[in-house]
Chain A
Amino acid sequence: MAAAVEYIQKDSPVHRLNAATKIFWALFTLACGLLFNDYRYLLGLLASVLLVAAAGRVLKNLLPAITGLSVFALILLLIQALFYDQGQVIFHLIPQTSYLPVTNYGILSGVAMAARMLSLVLSFLVLLATTRIQDMVLTMVEKFKMPYDYAFMFMTTLRFIPTFLGEVRQITDAQKARGHAVEGFNPFKKIRSYAPVTVPLVLISLNKAENMAMAMETRGYGGGRRTYFKEPKMRGADYLLTAVLLLLLVLGVTARVKGLGVM
């Protein structure tokens, strides 16, 4: 998962788009995911997200994340299929009895849920993988008028995930090298055996936070109006795409009001 939340430097049409366009696209996907619950619409949405990932040449990098998410998707599907009891019964999970019926609508609504979850999460991951965090923050502050402090907090949190995972690995290594083993099956022992990792992690993190606060202050954080070295421009493709997405969104809402795309 570590690689999934990081910017992946590549030269692709998606990378070249303005951050605002990509954020808008992620919001658009979110809106569509929530508007519809017909499995065909949602599978289509998922396909479109995968297409964008492919166009951004990050599909391969996202593969581990996709695999991980698919497990969740399967669980969602299973739960939905189990507890949805409308529609035609196809089979019973416990054969030869009438317990735990699985219905056709149950399966279809499970598929819809799984596809929705995958599209929403993946669109966010594609956004992160193809957009530099600085650009994203700049857009949020300048275009969406978010207070800089919040944008900065958001950026720092994202930035710290890989750092923390790295620290966890180093600490685990250091303790293993002194013969420490995360022990067997006893849950109490197991929790206790995490202390050698969690304690240094907390201390190191506090230290890092303190250092960062100092570094920010020495660089004049909060010292007044900010200007920017690089102001990302909206180009033709950005205006075009935004317009198309807006149009699609309007169409989507109209369709939904007319009762299309819902089961």
Chain B
Amino acid sequence: MTAARQPLIKVENLTYQYNGAQPVLKNISLEIGRGECLAVIGQNGSGKTTLVKHFNGLLKPSSGRVYINGRDTGPQKVSTLARTVGYVFQNPDHQIFHDTVGKEVAFGLKNLRLPAEEIERRVNEALEAVGLTGHYATYPFNLSKGQRQRVALASVLAMHTEVIVLDEPTTGQDYRESVQIMEMVKNLHEKGHTIVFITHDMSLVARYAARTVVLCEGEILADAPVRAVFAQPELLARSYLKPPQITLLAQELGKRAIPPDVISVREMYDLLQKARADKIGCCG
């Protein structure tokens, strides 16, 4: 089967400029396979949002091509691509307009013209997934911003799209809500959805992504497994990013016993225990 072999998202020499003369994305090529979990990172204004808006056709390349499932996005409508690619915006207030949470979540499903029972089933399922089960009939604007963000998330989850793009899903959330949201994302990934998320929180990248793309002034600075990227602090510094603290600690501790690509506390703990047992440890 060719469908299984071709990447789900393929970006070919993508250049994009807004009205201004300066291109915001410069000749970007990228492939994302089915079932990947990819983090896009980079400083403010590096072009992350601009890049992912090409995945569901909100933006069309100035030059180059973007393929979803092997089909060029150029001639396709966003409302058509929405069947394949779900997109969660950063600000939920740009989309909420119904008077109950349930209706809001059902909006996308109605656009897909699903039968009523199916809609009902999926709405309940999505609300449960985001931890808002009891809020079916709540007026959305009585919810907190974090909860509204999860309503927006549910309204995209319910559409069961193959790809889910999340633009800074945790910005402005407290730690607990951030983790809740990311656990939800992880869950979806385990169910087989392809995930692309943008974040400024390196610890979330370390914890949830398998692969990361680093953007810097519209170009791809690195595209590699998370570990490999965090093991190169000089490279990250060029995009004004810093690996998570535990990785910095590993790099500080030196090369012999502790590798420079540790990304979790658990991993560090195990390495330190082992080093102590071997009596070559660095920390006595």
Contacts and interface: CB of A to CB of B under 8 A. Distances in A.
Interface string A1-21: 001000000000000000000
Given A174-B94, A200-B93, A179 B56 contact: no
A170 B96 CA distance: 12
Nearest to B88: A177
B79 A180 contact: yes
Contact of B79 (A170, A171, A174, A176): A176
Interface in A143-195: 167, 170-171, 173-181, 195
Nearest to A176: B78
Interface string B149-168: 00000011001000000000
B16 interface: no
A181 B58 contact: no
How extensive is the interface on chain A, given as a class?
20 to 34
A222 B89 CA distance: 38
A94 interface: no
Contact of A177 (B82, B91, B96, B141): B82
A182 B66 CA distance: 24
B72 to A, nearest CB: 18
A195 B98 CA distance: 10
Nearest to A200: B97
Q: Which of A176, A177, A203 has the most chain B CB atoms closer than 10 A to its own CB?
A: A177
A134 interface: no
B94 A171 contact: yes
A177 B78 contact: yes
Helix, strand, loop or mixed for chain A's interface? helix
Interface in B1-47: 19
Given A173-B58, A174-B89, A176-B58, A181 B111 contact: yes
Nearest to B96: A200
Contact of A200 (B79, B82, B86, B94): B94
A174 B111 CA distance: 13
A177 B153 CA distance: 12
Nearest to A177: B87
B228 interface: no
B67 interface: no
Interface in B74-90: 77-79, 82-83, 86-87, 89
A196 interface: yes
Nearest to A173: B58
Contacts of A246: none
Contacts of B86: 177
Contacts of A181: 77, 79, 111
B263 to A, nearest CB: 32
Contacts, number: 66
Interface residues of B, number: 26
Nearest to A202: B97
B187 interface: no
Nearest to B82: A179
Nearest to A203: B93
Contacts of A179: 79, 82-83, 108, 111-112, 159
A170 B94 contact: yes
Contacts of A173: 53, 58, 78, 89, 94
Contacts of B156: 177-178
Contact of B82 (A171, A178, A204): A178
B54 to A, nearest CB: 12
A175 B89 CA distance: 10
B95 interface: yes
A177 B89 CA distance: 9
Contact of A178 (B53, B91, B93, B107): B107
Interface in A70-96: none
Contact of A180 (B91, B96, B107, B141): B107
Contacts of A204: 93-94
B95 A203 contact: no
A67 interface: no
A178 B97 contact: no
Interface in B203-228: none
A254 interface: no
Nearest to A181: B79
A228 B89 CA distance: 41
Q: Which of B53, B58, B95 has the most chain A CB atoms closer than 10 A to its own CB?
A: B95
Contacts of B53: 173
Contact of B97 (A176, A196, A207): A196
A199 interface: yes
Contact of B56 (A167, A175, A177, A180): A177
A204 B56 CA distance: 25
A125 to B, nearest CB: 17
19 contacts: A167-B94, A170-B94, A173-B89, A174-B89, A174-B94, A175-B95, A176-B78, A177-B56, A178-B95, A178-B108, A179-B111, A180-B108, A181-B77, A196-B97, A199-B97, A200-B94, A200-B96, A203-B93, A204-B93
